[in-house]
């Protein structure tokens, strides 16, 4: 396991080396499968690799002359960096800090690393190539106050393992931070400790281009850490030759954790191609276990073209929307600084949407106001892992449960109704891997005691432990999603579809619609050790099955479709760029008028695992 040797109070805390030793307490990253621990062990800061490790042989041979050393650096990652952040064994995130809980925090120091050639788990590692050194010089490092404002502890307080583990998670959750590690050192005063917060930046400037078809495309240019201040500046540029105004644009400016308050603010506008939209939002989520208050304000004014999902037509709509909510969290479990608490949350929400222009007056386009109350009981812990949705960076795996109830009143344009909904969800990590299960149900009761617009949804998400074959790591992923609509109306928004996001990837058709849907996605991912200019590769094989029908069908509908294929994902964890994905698919059966992507090149945003923090009261979506 990873073990950090404490140093004396007079020693310099900025130099760290994490060593691989056995039979010691774990203070670093962990994985679900202990079988991977004995692959390579680092002793005294050096790598001792197995004699039959082909990559160690390649590294040895490559070091014999200048040319091969440079070529090796292009195609293989420094083994020290590769191993330094590797998650090894299953462990709760708080275990890292448990042995020193209750100690007084004497000082907090911050080490901010550049985007390339360094590791938060071994500060002796330095950039070794000209490309890495040049990129680091061009990079604007995250400001120290941004890191200080994100952690949940201060000097003079005592070590709370939950606060420390959640601080690591909050830092890693920032778009412009690749990884984070918090270490504690003992001092001559046995009642006090020093703390070191280490963060590694991600390259924050990026560009994304999406080609939809021969008529339309989209270009995105962004900086997720403008000036190192945590500001997001986003620009979208749209092209569509079929529209009267072929060009469009959208600008967004946002900032998270303003002034250390954990309040996020955002403002954006979109113009051109029929859009004239302005939006503003301020929110504060239940970001940690000890958060007492959360809330938000959202305002949007828009005039835009609306593309109907059930028919091939677009019409103009204009509307004004408001969204306000506030919540209060109360700890209801016995206080234990080594364990995450059970929190009871009471929240209130007001939502309204008023149309100034609409194509018709069916329910989807009616003016409505909602007054909602939410009650939640939640608990959330964290585990750590690599190679789930990232390509090597530490990932935080939320476990725990959420029990949530929502009730309220809808004041509609033509009638008033009562709403009732609930959500029961939980996740656990075990010797078999990770399993998430969720059940949601919600619906309306009219003034005539009629049950209307009910939605039932059951989801399962599983991935296996990290399996190893040679020098390649594997995981198996399974997702199951079942949705049924009961008492749905007729018109827009009252049907669901099998499509790219909820069904068989690469297969879309307006004919694949109904009110009951079952989707099964199975994927095998192989994380390759190949490393080219900082880019990592994950090869995958997938099988998707989707079934869509009416609410009268017990489980399976009258339309079943499937697809399977192969692909590769390419990502550089040092960059904030989306993952680049190449995919080939085959579909034995096609619907009417299908839109089929037999091959696809696209960007894919980083996936985050669903957590169990309380949120604002929601209407269970029918989508």
28 plus 169 within the same structural domain: yes
Residue 226 domain flag = no
Show the 3-state SS of 575-600: ECCCEEEEEEEECCCCCCCCEECCEE
492 plus 590 within the same structural domain: yes
Residue 206 domain flag = no
49 plus 167 within the same structural domain: yes
Residue 13 confidence (pLDDT): 34
The domain total for the chain is 2
CA dihedral 176, 158, 31, 113 (to 10 degrees): 30
Residue 569 domain flag = yes
Q: What is the mean pLDDT of each run of 10 residues along the chain (623 residues)?
A: 33 33 30 33 35 49 54 49 50 82 95 90 81 88 96 95 95 93 93 96 88 83 94 95 91 95 97 96 96 98 92 92 98 87 97 94 92 97 87 88 98 95 95 95 94 96 91 93 94 89 87 92 93 85 93 67 94 78 92 81 72 96 93
DSSP 167-195: HHHHHHTSTTEEEEEEEEEE-SSTTEEEE
130 plus 42 within the same structural domain: yes
Q: Which among 184, 30, 186, 199 is positioned nearest to 123, based on CA atoms?
A: 199
Among the candidates 156, 181, 199, a domain finishes at: 199
187 plus 285 within the same structural domain: no
* pTM metric for this prediction: 0.83
Compute the C-alpha angle 371/374/376, nearest 5°: 175
Residue 592 domain flag = yes
Cα end-to-end distance, the chain, whole Å? 44
Cβ atoms of 54 and 151 closer than 8 Å = no
174 plus 291 within the same structural domain: no
184 plus 303 within the same structural domain: no
b/e code 175-190 from CB counts within 10 Å (16+ = b): ebbbbbbbbbbebeee
167 plus 312 within the same structural domain: no
149 plus 290 within the same structural domain: no
Residue 298 confidence (pLDDT): 98
195 plus 281 within the same structural domain: no
Residue 372 domain flag = yes
Range of the domain at 574: 274-604
- What is the radius of gyration, based on Cα positions, of the chain? 26
CATH code for the domain of 533: 2.40.160
Residue 458 domain flag = yes
190 plus 290 within the same structural domain: no
Among the candidates 166, 199, 232, a domain finishes at: 199
169 plus 299 within the same structural domain: no
* Helix boundaries (H) for 63-205: 66-75, 79-84, 95-98, 130-138, 144-150, 161-172
Among the candidates 172, 199, 226, a domain finishes at: 199
Residue 211 domain flag = no
Specify the residue for token string 């790591």.
473
Residue 35 domain flag = yes
């Amino acid at each position: 396991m990873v073990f950090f040797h404490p140093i004396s109070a007079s020693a310099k805390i900025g130099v760290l080396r994490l060593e691989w030793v056995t039979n010691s307490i774990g203070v670093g990253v962990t994985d679900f499968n202990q079988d991977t621990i004995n692959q390579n062990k680092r002793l005294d800061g050096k790598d001792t690799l197995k004699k039959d490790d082909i990559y160690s042989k390649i590294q040895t041979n490559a070091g014999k002359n200048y040319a091969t050393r440079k070529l090796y650096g292009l195609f293989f990652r420094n083994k020290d960096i590769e191993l330094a952040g590797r998650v090894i064994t299953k462990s709760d995130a708080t275990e890292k800090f448990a042995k020193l809980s209750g100690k007084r925090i004497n000082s907090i120091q911050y080490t901010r690393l550049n985007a390339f050639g360094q590791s938060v788990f071994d500060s002796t590692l330095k950039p070794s190539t000209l490309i890495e050194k040049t990129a680091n010089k061009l990079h604007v490092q995250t400001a120290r106050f941004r890191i200080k404002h994100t952690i949940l502890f201060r000097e003079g307080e005592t070590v709370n393992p939950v606060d420390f583990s959640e601080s690591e998670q909050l830092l890693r959750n920032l778009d412009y931070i690749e990884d984070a590690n918090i270490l504690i050192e003992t001092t001559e005063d046995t009642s006090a400790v020093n703390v070191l917060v280490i963060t590694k930046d991600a390259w924050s400037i990026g560009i994304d281009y999406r080609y939809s078809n021969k008529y339309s495309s989209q270009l995105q240019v962004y900086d997720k850490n403008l000036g190192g201040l945590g500001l997001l500046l986003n620009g979208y540029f749209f092209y569509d030759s079929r529209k009267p105004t072929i060009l469009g644009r959208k600008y967004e400016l946002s900032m998270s954790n303003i002034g250390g308050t954990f309040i996020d603010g955002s403002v954006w506008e979109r113009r051109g191609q029929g859009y004239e939209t302005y939006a503003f939002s301020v929110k504060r989520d239940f970001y940690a276990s000890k958060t007492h208050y959360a809330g938000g304000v959202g305002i949007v004014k828009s005039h835009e073209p609306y593309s109907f999902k059930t028919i091939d037509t677009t019409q103009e709509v204009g509307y004004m929307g408001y969204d306000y909510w506030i919540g209060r969290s109360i700890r209801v479990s016995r206080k234990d600084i080594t364990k995450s608490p059970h929190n009871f949350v009471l929240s209130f929400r007001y939502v309204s949407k008023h149309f100034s222009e609409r194509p018709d007056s069916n329910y989807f386009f009616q003016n409505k106001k909602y007054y909602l109350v939410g009650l939640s009981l939640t608990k959330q812990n964290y585990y750590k892992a690599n190679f789930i949705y990232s390509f090597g960076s530490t990932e935080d795996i939320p476990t725990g449960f959420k029990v949530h109830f929502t009730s309220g009143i809808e004041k509609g344009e033509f009638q008033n109704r009562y709403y009732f909904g609930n959500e029961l969800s939980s996740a656990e990590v075990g010797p078999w891997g990770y399993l998430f299960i969720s059940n949601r149900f919600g619906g309306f009761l009219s003034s005539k005691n009629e049950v209307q617009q009910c939605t039932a949804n059951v989801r399962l998400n599983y991935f296996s432990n990290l399996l190893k074959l040679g020098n390649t790591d594997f995981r198996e992923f399974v997702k199951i999603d079942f949705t049924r609509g009961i008492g749905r109306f007729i018109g827009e928004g009252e049907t669901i579809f099998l499509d790219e996001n909820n069904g068989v990837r690469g297969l879309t058709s307006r004919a694949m619609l109904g009110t009951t849907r079952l989707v099964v996605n199975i994927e095998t991912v192989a994380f390759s050790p190949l490393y080219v200019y900082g880019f990592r590769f994950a090869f995958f094989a997938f099988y998707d099955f989707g079934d869509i029908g009416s609410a009268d069908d017990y489980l399976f509908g009258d339309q079943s479709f499937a697809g399977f294929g192969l692909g590769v994902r390419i990502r550089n964890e040092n960059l904030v760029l989306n993952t680049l994905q190449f995919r080939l698919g085959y579909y034995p059966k096609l619907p009417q008028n299908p839109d089929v992507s037999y091959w696809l090149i696209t960007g894919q945003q980083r996936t985050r695992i669903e957590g169990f923090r309380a949120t604002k009261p929601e209407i269970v979506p029918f989508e």
